[in-house]
């Protein structure tokens, strides 16, 4: 499906890929390839690269380029690629976009300015300027728990009118604003993408275009099936699949909200990553890994042996 911007439609299941690294923090390309092949083979629609789950805020531009280049080669055009530029200023985002453009991702992604508090007018100008400079459509990324600057709904609706802004990934957890947005008329080229795994089913049931999932790195098949059922209007089945996703979410709850370490450990237990975090001290310990393992066994993804 093509939107009016001329790119692949921003929709469906879009895992925010983890980044397997070795104990010294260097990228493990063997596991990266194995994991990306798993996601694509499972039937995902796109990949979200160097985002929060991919520890993008801790990567150098050179490392980000390596990841984009590698995934581009592995994916062979089978899925669309969203390259995240998690930088705190407009100029820094634009500079990163320029570095990424030669590898031809389908979308660029940017968060609000962060560290300093900024008003909505500054956020509006930030995204408009980035969209103007980007050669591919821009995805707005709303994650105020990390940037401390929330994008208000009225700001999103105004930005939706911009020709080179393709949609929003909303990881705020504010489902009231997300629902109001989905129900508000916007250009057909603008997509509403949910970024909180507890809200995936509800988002599809109100008409969201897609989801970006971090938790789906562990087990993405239910998400793919959820999207298929949502397209058929099988809302009750979507709800049943959400219950299974909620069970998987226990790997995060039981480890005290250690989101990325728990996800990474889950993928490692299934043989597609290491457990190591880019910031070494955040790597999950043995006790927490055992909690993750018990959840995965309970879901039938791993034997008890």
Q: For position 31, which CATH number holds?
A: 3.20.20.70
Write phi, then psi, for 90 (nearest 5 degrees).
Answer: -60, -50
For residue 68, what are the domain limits?
A: 12-241
Residue 91 lies in a domain: yes
Q: Which of the residues in the chain have pLDDT under 70?
A: 1-7, 305
Residue 260 lies in a domain: no
The whole-number pLDDT of residue 8 equals: 77
CA gap 259, 16 in Å, rounded: 13
Residue 282 maps to a domain: no
Question: Is 248 among the domain residues?
Answer: no
Contacts of 56 (CB under 8 A, 6+ apart): 49, 50, 64, 84, 86
> Count of CB atoms within 10 A of residue 175's CB?
16
> What is the rounded distance in angstroms from the CA atom of residue 94 to the CA atom of residue 209?
27
pLDDT of residue 6: 44
For residues 99 and 178, what is the distance between their CA atoms, to the nearest angstrom?
32
**64 CB contacts (<8 Å, ≥6 apart)?**
50, 56, 83, 96, 99, 100
Does residue 254 sit within a domain?
no
- Whether residue 264 is contained in a domain is answered as no
Q: How many domains does the chain have?
A: 1
The pLDDT of residue 7 is 58
**Does some domain include residue 302?**
no
Residue-wise pLDDT for 112-151, tens only, equals: 999 999 999 999 999 999 999 999 999 999 999 999 999 9
Looking at residue 94, its pLDDT comes to 98
Task: Provide the terminal-to-terminal Cα distance of the chain, rounded to the nearest Å.
Answer: 45
> What gap in Å lies between CA 208 and CA 181, rounded to an integer?
10
How many residues in the chain?
305
pLDDT of amino acid 303: 87
Distances (CA, A) of 152 to 102, 131, 146: 33, 18, 15
Domain assignment of residue 273, yes or no: no
- pTM of the predicted protein model: 0.96
CA–chain centroid gap for 75, Å, is 17
């Amino acid at each position: 499906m093509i939107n009016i911007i001329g790119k692949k439609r921003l929709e469906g299941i879009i895992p925010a890929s983890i980044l397997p690294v070795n104990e010294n923090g260097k990228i493990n390309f063997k596991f990266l390839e194995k994991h990306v092949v798993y996601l694509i083979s499972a039937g995902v629609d796109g990949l979200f690269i160097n985002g929060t789950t991919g520890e993008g805020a801790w990567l150098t531009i050179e490392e980000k380029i390596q990841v984009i280049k590698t995934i581009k080669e592995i994916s062979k055009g089978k899925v669309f690629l969203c390259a995240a530029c998690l930088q705190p200023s407009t100029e820094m985002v634009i500079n990163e976009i320029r570095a990424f453009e030669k590898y031809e991702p389908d979308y660029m992604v940017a968060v609000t300015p962060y560290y300093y508090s900024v008003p909505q007018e500054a956020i509006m100008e930030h995204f408009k300027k980035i969209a103007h400079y980007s050669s591919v459509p821009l995805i707005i990324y709303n994650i105020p728990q990390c940037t401390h600057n929330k994008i208000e709904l009225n700001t999103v609706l105004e930005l939706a009118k911009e020709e080179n802004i393709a949609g929003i990934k909303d990881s705020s957890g504010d489902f009231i604003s997300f629902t109001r947005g989905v129900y508000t008329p916007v250009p057909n080229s603008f997509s509403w993408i949910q970024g909180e795994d507890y809200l995936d089913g509800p988002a599809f049931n109100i008409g969201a275009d897609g989801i970006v999932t971090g938790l789906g790195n562990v087990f993405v098949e239910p998400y793919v099936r959820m999207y298929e059922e949502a397209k058929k209007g099988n809302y009750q089945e979507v709800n049943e699949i959400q219950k299974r996703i909620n069970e998987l979410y226990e790997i995060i709850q039981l480890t005290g909200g250690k989101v990325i370490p728990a996800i990474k450990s889950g993928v490692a237990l299934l043989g597609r990553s290491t457990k190591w975090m880019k910031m070494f001290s955040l790597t999950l310990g043995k006790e927490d890994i055992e909690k993750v393992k018990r959840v995965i066994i309970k879901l039938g993804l791993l034997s008890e042996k």
